[in-house]
Structure 1
């Protein structure tokens, strides 16, 4: 199935499957992770929490970096816990698991 996604022109190229995540944004532009599916009630991307970071020149997960933006009811004291859970739920730092074939 072919999908068209629009990413920032300065986004890094998608890494190979298993390589370290570089914030290319492809995976989150294609579909939402299980946590985002619960929060936004959508299974297909782009994820509403996918954020472009101009300082880093890459995409970041807003649910991980700024959970209070997307979970307004979240008590401030739980932000660190939610970040830890999100890091685990999205497998942050575990390597690219997006097997999409990307055409520029």
Structure 2
């Protein structure tokens, strides 16, 4: 709603507070829920490339281009123009997961 009322006409805003690798997500969840069996090991890069060779939808070129790359998302226009404030990805994760576990939404 802020983008419609405060933002530039036809402006588009990224609304992201940061990123987390799957490994970071797993470690945060394991720390907050030590009783859960959550894998935290990361497949080595060279094994990921080997798997890509045999994967039906991924090729080696795609894997080399995309695996292990950190993306940077600049949400400063949303902060500046819309007055947005962000929750950290870890905090968002840790507030989202407990209801999922409580309601047994995971099979």
Using the size of structure 2 for normalisation, the TM-score is 0.25
| Bigger radius of gyration among the two | 2
Q: Which has the higher strand share?
A: 1
Q: TM-score, normalised by structure 1?
A: 0.25
Higher relative contact order (CA 8 A, sep 6+): 2
